Structures are given as structure tokens and as C-alpha cells.
Structure 1
Amino acid sequence: MDEKDKAKTILKILNKLYPTTPIPLDHINNFTLLMSVLLSAQCTDLNVNNVTKNIYPKYNKPEHFVKLGKKRIEKLIKSIGLFRVKAKSIYLMSKQLLEKHGGKVPKSFEELEKLPGVGHKTASVVMSQGFGVPAFAVDTHIHRLAQRWGLTNGKNVIQTEKDLKRIFPEKTWSKLHLQIIYYGREFCKARECYGLTCKICTTCYPNRKNPVKIKKA
């Protein structure tokens, strides 16, 4: 199966399984989306949502978090991994949004990636899910699946993003990013499929016998 056929097969399977793709991180505006994506690093979406459901009804703007200060932000998010580092990023990010962007989340990769704690993946999620700009946010899960499905050589997440953008039509990127995440959680799990049992792996590689060795991001 060549690359084009593989892409068509993957899209067909994913579109059938996930015709709609709700955003897994609960939020009420683009600032809280940005904050939730930042909080989700090395943490499950479920844990983030459990914490933020008690925060966002009351605190949902940059000025709220500047006023709170780092120590109080730490207390609010203390059940999330790396909470001290993330609290500092949220405080500094909120301050910068107020000072340089009038309290608004900027609508460009360049400006987003200048914010404290915001990397390219976080910026991609916000651009895609917050502003509707085609983007392909690649995390460790998508990096793993792209290797299993033979879509990238797995050198790093930057290369994986380039490969996925080259293989799939731009109009599919934002939805496909979420579809792959959902599929990976349900069918192509890190310690269950190994590239041998899920429908995408078996359809794309019917003769594969050995587990796929993954290059970490």
C-alpha cells in the first residue's frame, strides 16, 4: 500500500469512527483553552478538566490570574503534575497577554510561541481549535501512531508534523489531529497494539509480524 492509499484508508476508518470531534479539553474562551493546553503537558485531559471545572467559572481572564499571583495559582492547580512550573507560566503568560496584547490571545503562531510556557504544539492546538486555522498539533501519542502507521521515520515531532502535513490534505488537519488522538486512546494503545492488532495497523500492514519499535519524541 503506497502513501496515498494509506492516507485514504486511514481517513476512511477515522471518519467512520469519529464523524464529529469535540475538543477534549473543557474551556469557555480562547484564553482558557490556551491555559488548559498548557496544563495538559504530561497530564491527562481528564485530570485537567477535573481541576479547571472549579477554576474557570470564577477565573477565566488573564487579569484574574495576574491578580491571583503565582502562589494562589499553585494552590488552584496543585493536583496537576509540574504545578509549580505551570503556575509560573500561567502567571507570566497572563501578564504578557495584558501588557502586549490587550488581554487577548494572539492569532498567530509567532506571537503565541513568544508567550511563557507556550511551545509549537500548544500554539498549534490554539490556532486550530480556537481560531479554526489549519494546523497539525503533534504530541507524543500522534508521534507514536504516525510511526506505527508508516507515515514518518520518527526522528522527532517536528519531522512527524512535516510528514503528516505533506501526506494529508490541509482541510483535514484540525479534525484529523483529534481523530488520531481518540483512536490511539481507544484502539492503538501504547502497550496493547504495538502496530499489530488495531484495524488501521492490520489494514495498512496485513503481513506485519513483529512489534513496531518506536523512536521517542
Structure 2
Amino acid sequence: MRVLLVEDDAALAAEIAAALRAENFAVDHTADGEDGAHLGETEAYDAAVLDLGLPKLDGISVLRHWRAAGRPLPVLILTARDGWSDKVQGFKAGADDYLVKPFRIEELVMRLRALVRRSRGHADSRIACGALVFDAQLGTFERDGLPLKLTALEWRVLSCLMLRKEVIVPRLDLMERVYEGDAEVDSNSIEVIIARLRRKIGHSAIETSRGLGYRLTAGADGAG
């Protein structure tokens, strides 16, 4: 999963980014509203964390820009303002959730996971596909009831496939949602990650649709 963080407080932004990366999210950060508006319109993100008090362009204007451009990404607003009118303004502009500073980073992570899960049409936090179970609220995977140990990149690919289980996910979509914007990526990196995942969850659990992408399926998930 890839998140856009638009926050001008350098210390807070570093804390949020570190916490999200520790939970396997890919994070792109910008400190001003103009860059945030551009990134949110042109790049692929699973969600955005958006501060309201930004230089160059305020958060409400950024959000309105995204919605006017037809960008449906879930948006969690951060603000030092706790007045009801400010919250109403944010929701009217298209926000999906709201956190007032100061807040616990753990709560932000949990709220963000919930936003991403619901945006993919999953009401239940536990998502099953054959022997594989993803707790989208805790960010954990199990296979046959046992914890599945994954690298950050493996987790991002598998969570993307799991949230769209039984649907072909384009290779480019996986590329865009697995790596941060400044990452140097090898052309066959997704294929390498898919191969590692197949060794962990069963080769036939991830189908290749040549020229299109990959599909996580419950049809046959035996080992190897």
C-alpha cells in the first residue's frame, strides 16, 4: 500500500512516515499544498494523510482539487483545529476521516488501514482467500492458521492482491502501489516478489494473466 503524506511540520511528518513504513506502507511526503495537489492528482495512492494548515495551498483547497479532478483516494485530514465547523468544512470538501492534533500515531495507522479496506469494499477486517487470511485492521497475514512472515515489499504486493482477491491486478498497478516515488526499481522486481510469495503461500495461489497482471485465487492454494 502506498500513502501520500502532505504535512509541513517536519518533525511530525518524519514521525508519521517512520510509523507507516514500520507497518509496511510505502510513503511519499511533501510539505506544501501545491506539490500535494499535483502528486495526489497524478500518482497512484491507496490513501492520503492531509494537513489543513499548509503553505502555498491549504489542505481544504488541495482536497477540493483532488475531488474536482475525480480522484477517489481515501483522505484522512490532520488539523490543529478542533471546531465543529472546521470538521464540517473538511467533510464537505470530500474528507473520509479526521484527526485533531495532538493524536496517537497508532490511531492514525489504524484509521488509515480501515479507510483503505473500506475503499476496496471490505466491511469485515478479516479477509480470507483459501488458506490465506489477512487481518486488514492489524496488518497481519496467516496461512493455515499460522502467522506468515513477509518482507515489506512482499506485504505490499500481497495486501494489494488480497484486497482485490479473485480479480486481475495489473502489473503497473502493483508497481505504482508498492514503491515510493523516489525508489530505483528493476524492471523485473514485481516478478521477483511474486516468485517469493508463491514459495510462501503456494505457487497456484497467484495466477499470472500474461500481458495483464496477477490474480490471487482460492481455487488452488497448495504449497509449492
Using the size of structure 2 for normalisation, the TM-score is 0.32
Q: Which has the higher strand share?
A: 2
Using the size of structure 1 for normalisation, the TM-score is 0.33
